[in-house]
Structure 1
Amino acid sequence: MDPLDFSGRAVVVTGGTRGIGAAIARAFRAAGAGVLVCGRHTPADYNDFFQADVRDPYQASALIRAAVGRFGRLDVLVNNAGGGPHADAANASPRLHAKVIELNLIAPLHVSQAANTVMREQPSGGVILMIGSVSGTRPSPGTAAYGAAKAGLHHLATSLAAEWGPKVRVNSLVVGPVGDAVDHAALARTVPLGRPASTEDVAGACLFLASPMAGYISGAALAVHGGGEWPAYLAEWRGGA
């Protein structure tokens, strides 16, 4: 039996219409799963879409009900919706800080609560994945509220894993720079693998963590960051090596 065959399984991906979320949705569909994605605005080219602002707990619950109504079950939730603009912490408005933390930390908790209500009653349980960031593991100047929220998200995953096991496994992914909108030359100097992650890199990690191959992994944070960042204090030594 192929451990990456998700035929007959149901998956929800928040923020799944573009970027990392869209790649995750495509990967699970290619593996045979039924996938429902959500977002605040309805895209033109998505059939398996549910419009929801997951910062609202009622809309988060409605999303999970819609998935169960469509597929009859829920096996995997990927809390991918997130993000935040660059803003100096000294000058950013309280409203901006609140919205960033609400989207990146509170919303995943809302959706996870609703998902757990379904998963804990299923014989097979379920898997919840949090798409975190390296910004939550090291200083995040210019995106302080975002980094703080992602740090909280990683901790949330460990707490939910402890509370909701053994029926529900909960893990987070610590994702580094992704895609073409980053400085590739800088990454080649500072990231051991010399490139940003592709969205498919993140999607593949999600497939693994949701699969039976990761059946004894819960409360973990999987680093998907190309080996991390070369320590700045070693830059002179490295240049002369």
Structure 2
Amino acid sequence: MLPAIDFDGQVALVTGGTRGLGRAIAARLADAGAKVIVCGRNAPETLPDSVHFVSGDIRAPEQARAMVDEIAETHGRFDILVNNAGGSPPCPIEDASPRFIDAITRLNFLGPLYLAQAAHPYMAKQKSGSIVNIASVSGIRPSPGTAVYGSAKAALLNLTQTLAQEWGKDNIRVNAIIVGLAKTENTELTYGDADAQEQVSRSLPLGRMCEGSDVADAAAFLCSPMASYISGARLEVDGGGERPYFLDLVKGN
């Protein structure tokens, strides 16, 4: 039997934690005893028990640092950072304006970088800390229609491994979760109606798309003592991965 994950006394910030995958991650960490803070520009109507909200825009470096400082000063420590906020609407790269490119890059790459920088002094002083970056399969394979997003997630994966090497001396572990095809509030916009989603689910080895609980459990594991020697890792939470499209074009398949 695996030991229960216990984050009692630890303080965690989950970005994008007011909805979707981030909300599931925040609830999982809170259920394990952590003091969990989520952030965003607008407060949600409801939050899971023991999850608290702070206002701020992670894309602005001064606001990112202010959020981390506020949390650390209020609670006396800063243990866990889950960089979950991200996403992008579809946009052909030939139509992507400089403003669009900047906004998507700041949300998916620069925001996590700013927050990691802000968290570092507190974690280094404690000689402990865990940072989990929520990445995407778009960062490890072509991402047609969302090239800027895919490129930003690829950069986030490189940042993960680089920080793991630079900050290991302070016992700060930095890991990434590569999320596969996932169900969120925007599932229909990405994968179509219920019939289309069912076809997508059947195409995956485990027969279903990723749920919030799948990512939440993976994040909890990476932040826990069970992963004390895991740093710089890319944990793929994708149900076995996408089936290569060419196989369906081969006669007899």
TM-score range, shorter chain: over 0.9
- Which TM-score applies when normalising by structure 1? 0.94
Q: Which amino acid aligns with 1:41?
A: N
**Cα offset, 1:45, TM superposition:** 2.7
| Contact 2:14/2:81 (<8 A) preserved | yes
| Contact 1:16/1:38 (<8 A) preserved | yes
Separation in 1, partners of 2:149, 2:168: 28
| Contact 1:3/1:211 (<8 A) preserved | no
Divergent runs of 4+, >6 A: none
**Cα offset, 1:190, TM superposition:** 2.6
Q: Which amino acid aligns with 1:188?
A: S
**Cα offset, 1:56, TM superposition:** 0.8
Tell me the equivalent position of 1:77: 81
| Contact 2:202/2:208 (<8 A) preserved | no
Equivalent residues in 2 for 1:198-237, closer than 5 Å: 198-236=211-249
The Cα RMSD (Å) is: 1.6
Separation in 2, partners of 1:236, 1:102: 38
Tell me the equivalent position of 1:45: 46
Tell me the equivalent position of 2:10: 9
Aligned partner of 1:157 among 147, 157, 160: 160
- Which TM-score applies when normalising by structure 2? 0.90
Residue 26 (str. 1) matches residue 27 (str. 2) = yes
**Cα offset, 1:37, TM superposition:** 0.6
Q: Secondary structure at the match of 1:153?
A: helix
| Contact 1:4/1:207 (<8 A) preserved | yes
Q: Secondary structure at the match of 1:140?
A: coil
- Segments of 5+ residues of structure 1 without an aligned counterpart are none
| Contact 1:57/1:107 (<8 A) preserved | yes
Percent of aligned pairs sharing the same letter = 48
**Cα offset, 1:3, TM superposition:** 4.9
Q: Secondary structure at the match of 1:48?
A: strand
Separation in 1, partners of 2:102, 2:64: 18
Q: Which amino acid aligns with 2:99?
A: R
Separation in 2, partners of 1:185, 1:42: 33
Q: Secondary structure at the match of 1:146?
A: helix
Q: Which amino acid aligns with 1:219?
A: G
